[in-house]
Structures are given as C-alpha cells and as structure tokens.
C-alpha cells in the first residue's frame, strides 16, 4: 500500500468515525416516544411581559403587534416591551402608532438600546422586566393565536425555566434537515432539556437565571438563556406543538446561517464546563451538541482535505485522470440536488467551519440587520 493510499484511508477513517456520534444521537431521538404533556393554563392568567427586540422591522412590526393583541391571552395580563436597536427606518413610529391606537397609553413601552445587537437588547430587557415570566418573539415570525397561552401554561411546573416553539414551515431544501432538527430537540426535551432554543418564540422564568445574563459578545441569546436556566437547576424544553413560521426570503441567507452557527459555537465553547458537571442526562446531551458544533466540523473537513489531497497527488503522479472513490464523491456532490438531505447537511458543516475560521480571525457576527428581499432598500 502506497503512502497516498494510506493517507486516503486515514481520511476516510476520520470522516467515518467523526460522523458516528451525531448519527448515534439522531438514531436514539427518532426511535423513542418523545411526547411531553403540557399542563392546562391557569385561568387566572399570570401577568407576563411580551418582549420584542427590533431593528429595521417596518415591513412586519404592525402585523406582529396585531397578532399579539389578537391572541387568546388577555391583553390586561400582559405588558408589551419593545427595544429598538437603532433602526434607520420608521419601525418605532409604526409601533408607537398601533400601540396608542389599540392599547392606549398604558401597558407598553418602547426603548432605544444604546448598543447594536439583539443580545444588548435582551440584556437591557432582563434589567427592567418586572414580571416573573416573559415571552420573547421575533417580529417577522408568525404564530397561532393560542401560542402565548400554550407556552405560559408550562410555567405551572416549577421545574420549567424556559420553553420554546418549533419552526413548522420550510422551503423544500430545509424540510429534511429541519424535521431531524426538531426530532432531536423533542428528544432532548423529553429526556431533560435542550440547549438549542428557537428565539422566534420562547419564554423564560426570570428567577431561573439567578443573575446570569447573555454574553453580549455572542449572539444566540436564546440558547444562552436556556443554558443559563439549566445551569441553575431548571429545565429548558421545546414544545413542538407551539409552532411558528418565518419568511423564506431573508436577505443574505447564508450569512444568517453562518452568524447563527458562530453564536451557537461560541455559546457551547463558553459553557464547555457543562460537559462534565454532575447533571446526568443533560451533561450527555450537552456533550453531544458540543461535539457536533465544535469538533465535528474540523474532523469532517480534515477528512475531506486528506482525501482530496491524496487523490489530486495520485492523479498528478500518474499523469493521467483516474477515477477513484473521492472522484465519485465529487461527482455525487455536483449532482447533489437529487439529495437535499446531504446538501443541507454539507451547508451546515460549511457554515460551522466558516464561523470557526471567522472566530479565529477575530470577526464577530453579533449584529444582524434584518433587511428583506422585498424591502425598498434592497
């Protein structure tokens, strides 16, 4: 066996063994009953805060506010808090207009964050929210009229510190990936808690943080809060029956994926001590996610690079075009539209790897400007 063949086999082995842990985790998730039993809502309806962090949301903010006001949850039992991250459109004036028209002068407030970034707005909100439970929502996400009521019902269980919903509609590329993603989050929630939250609709018990706040240098503030809550002994779960939809025409979708990947990677790295804390089931869940977000992208790319280098060197040495397994892999990748699962998987790996490279280069993507394709500014 030649040196090149040995290198190729090493690359194949690294790739094979690196993918076993994620596959093992997924196989466990889909093979078990993961249905959680939600409590009935307390008919006294606890006082809550609805928190909307916004930036340049003029196209969607009015519809979002109306969705909240028309929900099943009594408006008399909610405070609406909007924190604007220096929008350069008329988001604030639109929000003020609709709230004055529909609510009056009480029961809501709009503040301007001093720094850019959703995490700054979240930290600011945590300092001023005076209700035990708050619901955080994205302005461009759409949910059902009973979503707030359902998510608040969970907090009758004193062990629950955080709850999030799940995305229910995707473009045709994301269907396979998202169905697996939701299966994993459901399983983690059934076993103990999930460290990956959906910030489009989520709710938290303020006391579950015990003074811990999201690191403003990192995004993924929703997952940061879920992990902080679990660190303090509370559970953080996903209820797959609380669903939301998002527009599929986001501006710069790959940038959005890389930004999210960087936030999750930095969050897992910052909390790496939780891999070995005495939390039994959750420590195992956290280690699995830590492996996938921190180690797996580099192992996968190392495997790919070794196989690519050995194949190129082999072709160059023989001064002819030879067909080997790596070449077949490349051809298959070119034809990848026939396998959307593989394509979205590789997009995820590439996004994670790019996010790591940006971290090493000191580039932080913790500010998101949600301009949309149908915006007049684009």
d(CA 210, CA 126): 11
Tens of pLDDT, residue by residue over 21-31, are 555 655 555 55
Strand partners, 137: 201
Q: Burial-class residue 274 by CB neighbours within 10 Å (0-12, 13-18, 19+).
A: buried
Cα 278 to the center of its chain, rounded Å: 25
Run of H or E including 282: helix 281-290
The three-class DSSP label of residue 324 is coil
Closest C-alpha among 182, 179, 135, 136 to residue 36? 182
Residue 162 has pLDDT above 80, yes or no: yes
Tens of pLDDT, residue by residue over 231-264, are 999 999 999 999 998 875 555 667 777 888 888 9
DSSP 8-state secondary structure symbol assigned to residue 163: E
Closest C-alpha among 352, 351, 25, 16 to residue 181? 25
Tens of pLDDT, residue by residue over 325-336, are 445 454 455 444
Residue 94 has pLDDT above 70, yes or no: yes
Give the CA count within 13 Å in the CB-facing half-sphere of 253.
12
d(CA 170, CA 247): 9
pTM: 0.82
Instruction: Label residue 377 by pLDDT band (50, 70, 90).
Output: very low
- Which domains occur in the chain, in start order? 48-250 (3.90.550.10)
| pLDDT given at position 331 | 47
Give Cα separations from 154 to 25, 38, 55, 158, 204 (angstroms).
26, 6, 30, 9, 10
d(CA 185, CA 336): 27
Residue 152 has pLDDT above 90, yes or no: yes
For residue 34, give both structure tokens: 């993961």
Residue 12 has pLDDT above 60, yes or no: no
């Amino acid at each position: 066996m030649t040196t090149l063949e040995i290198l190729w086999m090493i690359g194949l082995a690294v790739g094979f063994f690196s993918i076993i842990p994620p596959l093992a985790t997924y196989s466990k998730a889909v093979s078990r009953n993961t249905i959680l039993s939600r409590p009935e809502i307390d008919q006294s309806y606890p006082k809550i805060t609805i928190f909307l962090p916004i930036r340049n949301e003029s196209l969607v903010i009015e519809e979002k506010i109306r969705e909240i006001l028309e929900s099943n949850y009594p408006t008399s039992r909610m405070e609406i808090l909007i924190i604007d991250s220096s929008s350069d459109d008329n988001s604030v004036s639109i929000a003020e207009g609709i709230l004055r028209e529909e609510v009056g002068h009480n029961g809501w407030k709009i503040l301007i964050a001093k720094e850019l970034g959703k995490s700054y707005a979240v930290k600011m909100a945590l300092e001023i929210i005076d209700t035990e439970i708050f619901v955080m929502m994205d302005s461009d996400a759409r949910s059902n009229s009973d979503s707030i009521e359902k998510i608040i019902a969970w907090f009758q269980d004193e062990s629950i510190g955080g709850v999030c919903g799940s995305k229910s509609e995707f473009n045709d590329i994301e269907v396979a990936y998202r169905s697996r993603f939701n299966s994993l989050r459901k399983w983690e929630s059934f076993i103990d808690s999930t460290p990956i939250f959906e910030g489009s609709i989520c709710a938290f018990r303020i006391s579950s943080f015990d003074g811990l706040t999201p690191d403003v240098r990192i995004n993924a503030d929703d997952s940061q809060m879920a992990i902080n809550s679990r660190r303090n002994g509370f559970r953080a779960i996903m209820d797959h029956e609380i669903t939301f939809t998002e527009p599929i025409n986001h501006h710069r979708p790959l940038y959005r994926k890389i930004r999210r990947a960087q936030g999750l990677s930095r969050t897992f790295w910052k909390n790496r001590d939780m891999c070995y804390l005495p939390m039994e089931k959750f420590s195992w869940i956290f280690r699995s996610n830590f492996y996938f977000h921190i180690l797996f992208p580099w192992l996968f790319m190392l495997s790919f690079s070794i196989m690519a280098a050995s194949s190129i060197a082999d072709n160059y040495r023989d001064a002819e075009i030879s067909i080997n397994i790596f070449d077949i892999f490349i051809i298959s990748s070119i034809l990848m539209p026939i396998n959307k699962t593989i394509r979205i998987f590789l997009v995820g790996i590439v996004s994670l790897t790019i996010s790591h490279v940006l971290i090493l280069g000191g580039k932080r993507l913790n500010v998101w400007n949600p301009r949309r394709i149908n915006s007049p500014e684009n």
